[in-house]
Structure 1
């Protein structure tokens, strides 16, 4: 394995605050490597030009967090799927909503555009894969076969196949024209997060949480090789455009692999944390990562990266350069994809069968499309990238100059690039009073150019109560700004109340923390409940939710009544915490509870079984009480509505 390369092979390009709330998904345009789309918990999709600080376009219409985004190959269309299961398609050149597609019953986890025809594939947490006809606004096929959430979808370069990866540890290959599964590739021992077709050959790569990358032959339908020992779960892979190697975006590094035989050509240290997507432009690899509301972009100079295997010269022979090595006869070149000719304008037809779910447009769909908008935020960058369709030609931002590396004498940048990501220590949360920063106001006027490429990220929202809950609503004139004295006056109005609340809360947390340090989780939760302060329960649950192994059956009996209170709270953060805790309980314990209650009575006395059975009965009664509340709230719109709908599906077995 090669040693890490030197400074200036990789560097951080930019950091931007992409949304007013947390970023939940992002994707790079693969054709240019210069276009970035981000989806957020604020239900928006924002469009950016890499290395420019201002948002080009903001797309609205979703009423729940955007879970998945994807650009088509020409980068003229974008599709976004939400937590509620709805899908929207926007035309970027015309700056308008194109389609609203409804049909999935849970989160949209993956999307992909067909390379030639006007089709979109979607994979959901409801385990279904759907193929949509954008022109007719209908579902052409529904593919069933996965047993868990579908995490990644990719069309083959010739547009004839669709590959899917899922949490059920499998990769499946679907024939689009026949509407059925061609092959299933087992072998991964963890959720499969990503699949990618080789750009030319009949070869498929898959990356999994089991820290392996597998290569599959699409003629023989068998594994070619397996690369093990990745430093963490594999989330993003990308073939080089000529297909000579595969790039894997690892934790704080880029790895370059070959597959026949499996080997690592190079390792490049990049301080990007968990990279979410990769693209290549001008012999540079662009990687993007997100954390909370900020998105960071990084560049790797591929001219300084080893991408193919070389044969070392024999010192006993003369110094003539070695001849090109012939291909290994045991690993012949695979079949090449046959792409449609450039002159053919007719998209590939996909026939229907009995599983077709074509729907006629409804008035509700029309209303959704009227409420979905594409707002141009920066006209200058928009005109540089997109040109209206009635123009004679399109002005590409694409073939611009490579991104420059930082100056050689910039020691601060070099030190920053060499820093490892800090480890996350799980500690008991103690709230602090901080000055809240307001999210930027979205306007239709171009934003001023930023002096620095680094834009500071906004702070986290506090767990539990928000300061804004105690401040009176202030109507600010659209064109005027508050002067310092007025702003301070508004803050002071809620200051005394906030201090009283947080002082009491801090005191209660100290009481619970004293019990927590003994390692007795159940007793610490009991003490939090006894204090009769929901904010303390919220803080404690937010900690327990981070580590699912802390949940035990006896803990559920104490927490479930508190969850019922949280779900009825007027505070958004309380409802969110309650939904998260209830989802964890349902996933971990509902099968055990139903199995225990359905099991026949045993002969003799089994004290431990009787105790467990009693806890199951208590939990079942509490869950039945909560199920009515969840059902009544499942019709709500927005992010909580989709969360309650997911909980309602999980609680279906209670009926």
Structure 2
């Protein structure tokens, strides 16, 4: 029955035309979601609705990290090239482009007072940015691997950073130096979160534990039991009564002094990326390939916040018994624009990193005027509107349903707020007719007038915005058909030459995947022909392309490494051996390209993702066969 359900999937929708790389929920309301993808776009969503509100473009490489501002009026996105872009959502325009990192940005956060932001990168550095003056204030160096997460304290005085090097560092922003290093985790630290008021930090790691750190003595006060999966997402209850840990297919609720697991809830999610709380409901979001899924957990039905009224005294004691000092979160009154505790500034000028533009080509394209007006125009006048929205109602089934195909509902007109009673019936997502109707996928203004929608209009609406992608895919399909025709006729070399001449990396990657699966196809001639292409693909911005090329390089080294090495010497001058001379020439060409590939790998190994780093290490080891 719906009354016994603790958690359910809210929706599952396609968020990008390429793989989703990151997402973030608005933590003030829990009602907005931002996603970043391999298509270099940042898309904005209203939680529970299937259509994008706004699409933010301008980055030249994939989006690796996104974060809302505290009032959900700003969004910052970090790219693989190391650039940040900050958008003003109310004005629907680019606010700042900041450059300086030498590798992809994996973590972001806004300072509580809004004028500063911090970024953590695969270049192992942390940068503090002044949004107003458009420059890097300070670069914090000390981590030896990728910075996975960073968070400002609620009072804005400190910054905690978590890294793949298994450490957490606490930085004093005013002094511009490291306060301490927390080193008890035995694996990469994926997430850190500060208690909303007390001097307490929670951390989650790939060692599958959650640790709680007291921030007066910087000591670990408790550690959870080892879980089955790495800990990647944590979120404190706003009252500070407990912390929620999303791990594998479960939600665990922890207290810390002493450590206690208040509740365990089974939820059909995997690798939750972010959580927020709205109206006594925990909202969680995860992604897989091009899709994003959102989930709801009813906090009134799980401990400790779901305890009955007769346990109110015990419930209140959860937040009052620690005696721990609290952060002073009230912003001091000042008579000038600068904050008295403004972070210490570096004496060095702002750094320049990549060649991303300064906003000239960055755009904020509004996709849904009604939702945009409701969320960012009305809320600008009344910031509590979004937070007062009705809870997400549970579906009626006892068990988790299949992904909800959430169709858009006609929104309220500008300036009008829909009245909802607490016992309202869940919204109906499909028409009474059997099957899915075309209007289920149309924007609200069209679905409201579906009776007047002609078939050509329906087709035009469904295909709008996809014409460019359809053109690209159609051309790729034609190229693959040409290559396939040559391949099936038995002329393998001609097919490969044709694919190379098309200068389409996607076609080459498709072809390489076939060749990699059939080791008997590889010959010294094929190595000599394909290695220059593999070198180019190794520099691709798409990880899947790099993985395919790296796999081919491994095949070449395993099968032909010893042959290449043995044929590197010049043939004897007294004899004419045309075959040996040709073999020497081909092996020399292969050696030259493989040496270049090794240099590329060594220069980018420190900033590679864990998956690529492992493959790169294998290649470097295999390179010894030709040295």
Q: TM-score, normalised on structure 2? A: 0.69
Q: Equivalent residue for 2:392?
A: 403
The SS at the match of 2:597 is helix
Query: Which secondary structure state, in structure 2, belongs to the residue aligned with residue 625 of structure 1?
Result: helix
Measure the CA separation in 1 of the matches of 2:21 and 2:133. 29
- Counterparts of 1:22-61 in structure 2, within 5 Å, are 22-61=19-58
1:99 to 92, 96, 101: 96
- Given that 1:163 and 1:171 are in contact with CA atoms closer than 8 Å, whether structure 2 keeps it comes out as yes
Task: Report the 3-state secondary structure (helix = DSSP H, G, I; strand = E; otherwise coil) of the residue aligned with 1:387.
Answer: helix
Residue 223 of structure 2: which of 215, 226, 229 is its match? 226
Instruction: Extract unaligned runs of 5+ from structure 1.
Output: 312-319, 418-443, 452-476, 483-487, 509-532, 545-557, 594-616, 634-638
Deviations 1:313-372 (A, max 9, x none): xxxxxxx989759979xx842111111347557544222244x4435999x77x431111
**Unaligned ranges ≥5, structure 2:** 404-441, 450-458, 465-469, 491-507, 520-525, 562-587
CA distance in 1, matches of 2:510, 2:531: 12
Can you list the C-alpha shifts for 1:66-119, whole angstroms capped at 9, x where unaligned? 000000110011100000111100001111000000000001010000011400
1:625 corresponds to: 596
Conserved in 2, the CA contact under 8 Å of 1:560 and 1:623? no
Match for 1:349 among 337, 342, 356? Answer: 342
Query: Are residues 210 and 377 of structure 1, via their aligned partners in 2, closer, same or farther at CA, if it must alter by over 3 Å?
Result: same
Alignment check: 8 A CA contact 1:563 1:581 kept: no
Write the deviation string for residues 490-530 of structure 1: whole angstroms up to 9, x where unpaired.
9999989856855887999xxxxxxxxxxxxxxxxxxxxxx
Call closer, same or farther: CA 1:495–1:346 in 2, change over 3 Å: closer
> Which secondary structure does the structure 1 equivalent of 2:138 belong to?
strand
User: Which whole-Å CA distance do the structure 1 matches of 2:240 and 2:71 have between them?
Assistant: 21
Q: Could you tell me which residue of structure 2 aligns to residue 612 of structure 1?
A: none
Secondary structure of 2:359's aligned partner: helix
Q: Structure 2 vs 1, CA of residues 194 and 340 (structure 1 numbering), >3 Å: closer, same or farther?
A: same
Using the alignment, how far apart are the partners of 1:265 and 1:151 within structure 2?
28
Indicate the residue corresponding to 2:534 in structure 1: 566
- Change beyond 3 A, Cα 1:414–1:357: same
| 2:366 aligned residue (363, 376, 388) | 376
In the alignment, structure 1 residue 237 sits paired with structure 2 residue 234? yes
Counterpart Cα distance in 2 of 1:543 and 1:129: 44
Provide the C-alpha distance between the structure 1 equivalents of 2:236 and 2:533, rounded to a whole number of angstroms.
Answer: 50
Residue aligning to 2:62: 65
Q: Provide the C-alpha distance between the structure 2 equivalents of 1:19 and 1:580, rounded to a whole number of angstroms.
A: 22
| 1:85 aligns to 2:82 (yes or no) | yes
1:608-619 equivalent positions in 2, closer than 5 A: none
Distance 1:629 1:234, change over 3 A: closer
Match of 2:455 in 1: none
Residue 117 of structure 2 contacts residue 130 of structure 2 at CA under 8 Å; is this kept in 1?
yes
> Helix, strand or coil for the counterpart of 1:371?
coil
**Corresponding residue number in structure 2 for 1:170:** 167
Partner of 1:530: none
The Cα RMSD (Å) is 4.9
The CA distance in 1 between the partners of 2:223 and 2:527, in whole Å, is 44
Structure 2 CA distance, aligned partners of 1:275 and 1:309?
22
Cα pair 1:564 1:626 within 8 Å, conserved: no
Paired with 1:115 and 1:371, the residues of 2 have a C-alpha distance of: 30
TM-score (normalised: structure 1): 0.66
- Cα deviations across residues 146-205 of structure 1 (Å, max 9, x unaligned)? 000000000000000000000000001000000000010001111000000011110001
Alpha-carbon deviation of 1:257? 0.8
Aligned residue in 2 for 1:467: none
Aligned with 1:303: secondary structure? helix
Q: Measure, in 2, the Cα distance between the counterparts of 1:84 and 1:125.
A: 10
**How many angstroms apart in 2 are the aligned matches of 1:577 and 1:113?**
33
User: CA 1:119/1:76 → structure 2, altered by over 3 Å: closer, same or farther?
Assistant: same
Shift of 1:395: 7.0
Cα distance between partner residues in 2 of 1:122 and 1:147? 16
| Separation in 2, partners of 1:372, 1:70 | 18
Alpha-carbon offset, residue 19 of structure 1: 0.8
Distance 1:241 1:493, change over 3 A: closer
- The 3-state SS of whatever aligns with 2:513 is helix
Distance 1:384-1:148 versus aligned 2 partners, 3 A rule: same
Deviation at 1:29, TM superposition (A): 0.4
| Residue 12 of structure 1, CA deviation | 0.8
Partner of 2:207: 210
Q: Which residue matches 1:182?
A: 179
Residue 393 to residue 538, structure 1, CA distance change in 2 (3 Å):
same
Whole-Å separation in 1 of the counterparts to 2:353 and 2:538: 36
Q: Compared with structure 1, are the counterparts of its residues 450 and 234 closer, same or farther at alpha carbon in structure 2 (3 Å cutoff)? A: farther
Distance in 2 between residues matched to 1:195 and 1:570, nearest whole Å: 33
The residue aligned with 2:327 is: 337
Q: Aligned residue pairs: how many? A: 501
Q: Which residue in the other structure is 2:513 paired with?
A: 538
**1:291-302 alignment, distance < 5 Å:** 291-302=288-299
Q: Distance in 2 between matches of 1:138 and 1:494?
A: 42
